Amino acid sequence: MKELNCTDPEVDNIIAHEVLRQKEVLNMIPSENYVSPNVLKAIGSVLVNKYAEGYPTKRYYQGNANTDAIELLAIERAKKLFGVEHVNVQPHSGSPANFAVYMATLEPGDTVTGLALPDGGHLTHGWKVSATAKFFNSIQYHVKEDGLIDFDEVRKIAKENKPKLIWCGATAYPREFPFEEFSKIADEINAYLAVDIAHIAGLVAGGVHKSPVSYAHIITTTTHKTLRGPRGGMIMVTKKGLEKDPELAKKIDKAVFPGMQGGPHEHTIAGIATALGEALKPEFKDYASQIVKNAKALAESLMENNIKLVSNGTDTHLILVDLTPFGIGLGKYIAVALENAGVCLNANSIPKDPSTPFKPSGIRLGTPILTTRGMKEKEMKQVGKYIADVIKDYQNIELQNKIKQEIIKLCAEFPVYEGL
């Protein structure tokens, strides 16, 4: 078989440039990670060729003995890793996984509640532009001035509106989730509690964030981010969920297929199985622990350099920076300046942002990839200084170029994908 650079040099050239970018840049978007070479091999396998509509041993097409085996392996590894009763590994990503939860537990027009997007929540937890708000009655809760979830408001919404589904989880919430509080409220009104651990799945698996398994009825997650797998999704049903509704696992499966999707991506599921196997090894606990240590060290470095953080720190892998001391709506400008300096992160709204989502006043960053590369607290101190320097003088092109060269040298000390 001819190499891609011979048969399609245009595509090969673009991929080569991306390989170089990933090697020479501090990738700090907290929802991204670098998969292992084995995961890359699995998702690039011939499993991409096979249609496998249905579920293991109950497919609509013939020739699925091997896809059945790989999907069952992924399921068993997920059940073991998280300690749950049932797992569906077919969702193509986190958003359809979450929408399948709505389909399994609600009727159109039913009331739901989740954390508002500008306060760190997720689109699919009922934000107004999402289908989850268009087809369901969404009432959003918020965070307080200190950046922590406002449980007085959550209880008020629960008492007055009786949502049938309560979401816990976020995309830009830097503190540990108090699952117990959500569980108490859900139980009081007989609501389903769905916990979206997309961002913290690897931390939960590694034992450095409490597990929601004892408190939630349903758990959803992506398989990339801190779990360090390919881009996919999973839905898990707990013992508590089956006690609430013995048919819940079947409802979830029917909601995914045929309710939401057709054929599953079995090459991605092979990558998920590989990543879950890696997460079951003892060294993954060390990795997860180092993610949090690095995030805390980075937060300390930023604050020492007079950068304001939402909630004044982090318990997890991510940090949310409040840029309002430097001006309103500067998030995108500073994100671009940092990318020019070799630091890739994203502009992000902050709670009660005085600007718009298109010109947010914050940036969001995290430590999963830097930890995957082998960096530790010493490097976080320097990285925090780089970021702070650019924030304070974000129009200084000469400074950006100087820092970029230093970052290229730093990245060379912590290489990735040497064979590519």
HEC-encoded secondary structure of 219-246: EEEECCHHHCCCCCEEEEECHHHHHHCC
Residue 80 contacts residue 213 (beta carbons within 8 Å): no
Which DSSP string corresponds to 123-185? GGGT-TTSHHHHSSEE--B-B-TTSSB-HHHHHHHHHHH--SEEEE--SS--S---HHHHHHH
Question: Is 315 considered catalytic here?
Answer: no
- Predicted confidence (pLDDT) at residue 3 exceeds the cutoff of 90: no
Last residue of a domain, one of 279, 307, 327: 279
Residues 304 and 373 in one domain: yes
Average pLDDT over every residue of 1-21: 89
> Is 173 annotated in the active site?
no
Final residue of a structural domain among 279, 301, 321: 279
268 tagged catalytic? no
- For residue 183, the one-letter residue type is S
| Cα(124)–Cα(196) distance, integer angstroms | 10
Give yes or no for residue 80 having a pLDDT over 60.
yes
pLDDT band at 420 (very low <50, low <70, confident <90, very high): low
Confidence of residue 1 (pLDDT cuts 50, 70, 90): very low
- Tens-place pLDDT, residues 149-199: 999 999 999 999 999 999 999 999 999 999 999 999 999 999 999 999 999
319 and 247 together in one domain: no
Residues 157 and 34: their CA atoms lie apart, in Å, by: 39
196 catalytically annotated: yes
Contact 203, 314 (CB under 8 A): no
The one-letter code for the residue type at 400 is Q
**56 and 111: one domain?**
yes
Q: Which domain holds residue 71?
A: 41-279
360: CATH: 3.90.1150.10
Q: Are the CB atoms for 251 and 217 separated by under 8 Å?
A: no
Q: pLDDT for 14-51, tens place per residue? A: 999 999 999 999 999 999 999 999 999 999 999 999 99
The residue from 23, 50, 164, 231 that is catalytic is: 231
Catalytic residue among 222, 226, 268, 314: 222
Closest to 321 measured CA to CA, from 293, 298, 288: 298
Q: Which of 34, 51, 55, 333 is catalytic?
A: 51
Q: Does residue 242 sit in the same domain as residue 104?
A: yes
User: Is position 66 within any domain?
Assistant: yes
Quick one: pLDDT at residue 419?
Answer: 55
How far apart are the C-alpha atoms of 176 and 356, rounded to whole Å?
Answer: 27
The residue annotated as part of the active site, out of 71, 119, 196, 266, is: 196
CATH of residue 134's domain is 3.40.640.10
Is position 402 annotated as part of the catalytic site? no
- Residues 79, 170, single domain; the answer is yes
